[in-house]
Chain A
Amino acid sequence: MLELLNSHYNYFAVMVLLGIGLYMLIESRNLVKKVIGMNIFQTGIFLFFITLAFRAGGNPPIIKEGGGPYVSPLPHVLILTAIVVGVSLTAVALALIIRIYTEYGTLDEDKLKQLYYD
């Protein structure tokens, strides 16, 4: 187990980050904290991709004569796109939160449920 941790450390961090993000999504009563949890979950997945693209002794994929070996640029591109999409998602979620607050006057999940069912 310790040996596995030493060679696969980033993947363990990925799984724990997914767990923390999931915990926040389920358990945080404040809607803003739920969005923070969603972002942590996302970053965990990013770490998974960037770790797969990495090779020991590799250089960043800036191509020049005799510059290799390079890490794989393809997951980097994917994650760049995902970061920007993640920000768009956060912006829309926060706009919805502001609207919910102006309509209901609270961001507490339990109170919102009560107001909704009344």
Chain B
Amino acid sequence: MLSRRRLIGGAGAALALGLMPGGLSAAPLAKVKALGTIRVVVYQNNRPWSWEEGGKLVGLDADLAQAIATKLGVRADVAQLVADESADDDLRNGVWKGGLLGFTPGDIMLHVPFDRVFAARNDQVAIIAPYYRESFGLAGSGGMAVEAMPTEWKGRKLAVELDSIPDFYLIGSFGGVLAKDVTHYPTGSDAVAAAMAGQADAVLASRAQIEEGAHRSGGKPLALRKGPLPAFASPGWDIGMAVKENSRTLGDAVEEIVTAMGTSGEMKALFDRYGVTWTPANAAG
């Protein structure tokens, strides 16, 4: 079936109004404190942000969820959401309505794109607290001319995540000359691991995936391309969090915490533990 990123605007909103009993609404700040628990939604299998290792949920978002809960003086109930076909759908499943099969919405969801156009069409939620600037980057092993024109990479093994902007760029650009050289992996993190293990000459993935992958393997870091990729579709994006539209008291409290973590150096330290350079969101000013 077609990739379904289309519960855009009107239809989604109309559905929301009819299907949101008050009892299920995510608790604003006072309720979270009274309950002593905040339900934080993160993505399932989203290394380096949130993934399971040895039966334990780890990652940047997992740690951030714990940090926020601690500062609110409550316990974190971290729930893993299976990504649907668009982040718009994820907000519906994870924040304002819940899943069709019974996934309980969270009080807050992490790893939500902080983008004005995206926010405008998802008016059931408030998108808050931008905490990182993400972007895609190309990294290659020794002997790979990472700064060269991409067409010169013909014949080299290029690793990407299946069905991603890096995938579309490498198989579709330049008349598709690199299409045969691309190997697809289930996640960007897997693509980085392949490059670190020498199974691929270069990888096009998110910067966090590349840095954490190098840090994890302890091997020689890949060389990151400094120049922009010609005609590449994404300049990067900010990552924030989402609360239900009527949970702004909670949103404001979390935003204060996140801002303070940035200023105090705590956020940088949290990212350092995974080998990822903390880059403040553009919108964080």
A and B physically associate: no
